[in-house]
Amino acid sequence: MKALITGINGFAGQYLKKLLEKNGYDVWGIDIKTEKNNKKIIIGDLNNKELTIKILNKVNPDIIYHLAATTSVRRSWEIPLETVKNNYIASLTLIEWTKEKNKKLFIMGSGEIYGNKKKFPIKETSSVNPLTPYSLSKYMVEKTAIFFNKNFHTKIYLSRAFNFTGPGQREVFVIPAFSKQLAEMEIGRREKVLRVGNLSAVRDFSDVRDTVEAIFLITHKGKPGTPYNIASGYSYSIREILNKLLSLVNFKVKVVENSQEFRKNDIRKLEGDFSRLKKDTAWSPKISLEKTLKDTLDYWRKKVSEG
Amino acid sequence: MNINSILITGGYGFIGSNFIRFLRKKLPDIKIYNLDKLTYAANIENLKDFEEDKNYIFVRGDIKDKSILEILYPKVDAIVHFAAETHVDRSIIAPGEFIMTEVYGTFNMLETMKNFKNIKLFLHISTDEIYGSIEKGSFKENSPLNPSSPYSASKTGADRLAYSYFKTFGLPVIIARPSNNYGPYQHVEKFIPLFITNALDNKELPLYGKGENVRDWLYVIDNCEALFLLLEKGKIGEAYNIGAKNEVKNIEIAKKIVNILGKDESLIKFVEDRKGHDLRYSVDWTKIKKLGWQPKKSFDEGLKETVEWYKNHRHWWEKVKRGEFSNFYKKYYKSEIQ
């Protein structure tokens, strides 16, 4: 079996690659840039439809895992139209190719599309209300995929992933950002002052290793055209998470809150119900947030001391 | 014993949450880690006011997960191990969970502790039910153990495992064996809260058998004081009974509740007895008395305060009743109700 991952050099992409290889897949990838000299990882911009189709025809995968996207919510506010356009057009090309060649496609979606809710944990059956360019694009892609599944019997697998993190995530995201700074403080490379943004947001974090396991299971045991929440089922405030990280180091840190860091239309709380995923694929989260944080901090300790 | 940082397991349960609240009053500056799996019996609202407490860290996780213990253990001086499946009726429907949590979970906690010499005390919370039923007199700590439900059998396993890790590996273990607790924040599936909340709503009070069963009722705050004393002055390797001299028949309690609330005794309805229902539990707690503890609350006083608490915390228990508990309730008392 041959798989192709878009955004293979991204955070989830690298973990999914390892998991697929472990399961006997011949894994190929497309990424916008690559440092690795690997003939199976092809440099390509998914917005270039012709080039994308050429690559797909050449690789001819049995399944495409579409992870590439402008994933940073903060960034999506800086370039809103580009975010919506890029995420949507890229997915359309993949949907079209899959339909024509009768292949499988997995599309990474986001729990952000639910917007602000009152009842938790959020089930897939509750209404959606995208509040950011990023989640709007994810919603449009999902709707289109469901439409194609219904009318053309394509095999498109859908997910709504809530936050996930772990070793290797870029430091534009909150947990790696905190971890990196703490690691730098630990070896005296940074003043022991941590400037933070909105700590009151409440999020449902999974470990990336659990998340890619869920992706794998959705494409093997899940139903096409059915969105699955990928979530831990429990949420913590960013303040609680920071507190946990602070308790993993043996020095005192001054925390300075800066309300300017609040993002536009920020969602107050996200907490996903994963019972549909559990029912269809027997998935449940295996890694506690404590372990995720410890592993992430250790990753940055190593990285910071090396460079 | 000097404690700077403590790990509480099952801290969102009834006794665990009362103990965390008690501990915070006694030791305002220590770091408290609460490891809880958040099963049905846990209730986040029990410690809602701790959200702003920077020295309180909630860890959602399982005592069976070694990786989580290895992260928490280096940070703490002491452990109080409450986490357990506790409802005897559930242990009759689904004993497997009890064995896994009580026996394997406690084993995992102790086994992991071998590598952490920084932990000066493991206070294991056991129960008086492990002695079994007694017609007359009271059990001492060295009386034979004779558990009779899957719940008490698995608690016996955990109790003896804790002791064996003291005896065999020299771990600093103390075992507490409290009698039946009652008070604020107890889950509504338990006898006293069930009867109070049903009576408040003018619903029937399903009483097992003839209501002749006798328990020695211990007010949860009195229990917390006893546990705190064991943290400070308990002798390593010893077991301590904690009781109250409040032996009351269930039928008497039902009547007291009805009377406090000004309801009619006709609400009480006798239902088929629980399988293997022990008639009377009684422990002799001279040993902990010698350490300097005795219960302060009389049963009538404690019961009145508990009734008052449930009256004033309707939002707390209505949520629980509407949820998963109602399915269990229907399954268990099915034909007898409605």
Residue B338 inside a domain? The answer is no
- B272-287 mean pLDDT: 91
- A242-269 mean pLDDT: 86
CATH of the domain at B263: 3.90.25.10
Q: β-strand B214-216 against B247-249: which pairing, if any?
A: antiparallel
Residue B336 has pLDDT above 50, yes or no: no
Residues B204 and B148 both lie in one domain = no
Computed on alpha carbons and rounded to an integer, the radius of gyration of chain B in Å comes to 19
Q: Where in chain A is the domain with CATH 3.40.50.720?
A: 2-166+205-233+274-281
DSSP one-letter string for A38-63: -TTEEE--TT-HHHHHHHHHHH--SE
The ipTM value here is 0.84
DSSP one-letter string for A192-250: SEEEE-----EE--EEHHHHHHHHHHHHHHS-TT-EEEE--S--EEHHHHHHHHHTTSS
- At residue B230, what are phi and psi to the nearest 5 degrees? -65, -35
Interface of A with B (CB under 8 A): 234, 236-237, 240, 243-244, 247-248, 287-291, 294
Q: Spell out which residues of chain B touch residue A244, defining contact as CB-CB under 8 Å.
A: 57, 59
Buried b (16+ CB within 10 A) or exposed e, A266-277: ebebbbbbbebb
Residues B234 and B256 both lie in one domain = no
Question: Which of B43, B67, B76, B112 best tests the A interface by mutation, with the highest count of A CBs <10 A?
Answer: B67
Residue B224 inside a domain? The answer is yes
Q: Nearest CA to CA, how far is A35 from chain B (Å)?
A: 34
Among residues B219, B184, B202, the alpha carbon closest in space to that of B308 is found at B184
- Report pLDDT for A75: 79
Q: Where in chain A is the domain with CATH 3.90.25.10?
A: 174-201+236-268+289-306
Residue A224 has pLDDT above 80, yes or no: yes
Of B51, B57, B65, the CB nearest to A288: B65
**Confidence band, pLDDT 50/70/90 cuts, at residue B329:** low
Residue B292 inside a domain? The answer is no
Instruction: Please state which of the four CATH numbers 3.90.25.10, 3.20.20.70, 3.90.1580.10, 3.10.450.240 is assigned to the domain occupying A174-201+236-268+289-306.
Output: 3.90.25.10
User: Within chain B, where are the H helices?
Assistant: 14-26, 66-72, 88-93, 95-98, 106-113, 150-169, 191-200, 220-233, 250-260, 286-291, 299-312, 314-322, 324-332
Q: How many CB atoms lie within 10 A of CB A21?
A: 12
- B238-251 mean pLDDT: 96
For chains A and B, what is the number of CB pairs under 8 angstroms? 34
- Check CB contact under 8 Å for B75 and A289: no
Catalytic residues of B: 128-129, 151
Of B38, B54, B71, the CB nearest to A290: B71
Tell me the per-residue pLDDT of B134-144, one tens digit each, with 9 for 90 and over: 999 999 999 99
Residues B268 and B255 both lie in one domain = yes
- Report pLDDT for A71: 66
Residue identified by tokens 């940074």 is A190
Amino acid identity, residue A303? K
Of B60, B61, B75, the CB nearest to A247: B75
Specify the CATH number of the domain A2-166+205-233+274-281.
3.40.50.720
Of B38, B51, B68, the CB nearest to A290: B68
- Check CB contact under 8 Å for B71 and A247: no
Torsion angle in degrees (nearest 10) through CA of B90, B94, B96, B102:
0
Of B31, B38, B68, the CB nearest to A288: B68
Q: What is the mean pLDDT of chain B?
A: 93
CB-side neighbour CA atoms (13 Å) of B41: 20
Residue B207 inside a domain? The answer is yes
CA distance B37 to B63: 8
- B143-170 mean pLDDT: 97
Positive or negative CA dihedral for B321, B323, B329, B334?
Answer: positive
Q: Spell out which residues of chain B touch residue A240, defining contact as CB-CB under 8 Å.
A: 57-58
CA distance B6 to B33: 6
Tell me the residue range of the domain where B94 lies. Answer: 5-182+217-242
Among residues A19, A12, A14, the alpha carbon closest in space to that of A41 is found at A14
Q: Spell out which residues of chain A touch residue B61, defining contact as CB-CB under 8 Å.
A: 288, 290
Asked if A294 and A245 touch (Cβ cutoff 8 Å), the reply is: no
Q: Nearest CA to CA, how far is A65 from chain B (Å)?
A: 31
Tell me the per-residue pLDDT of B39-49, one tens digit each, with 9 for 90 and over: 877 888 899 88
Q: Spell out which residues of chain B touch residue A196, defining contact as CB-CB under 8 Å.
A: none
**Omega before A121 within 30 of 0, i.e. cis:** yes
Interface of B with A (CB under 8 A): 31, 38, 51, 54, 57-62, 65, 67-68, 71-72, 75
- Check CB contact under 8 Å for A288 and B31: no
- Chain B residue whose CA is closest to A235: B60
- Report pLDDT for B298: 96
- B96-108 mean pLDDT: 96
Residues B250 and B146 both lie in one domain = no
Among residues A299, A21, A293, A23, the alpha carbon closest in space to that of A164 is found at A293
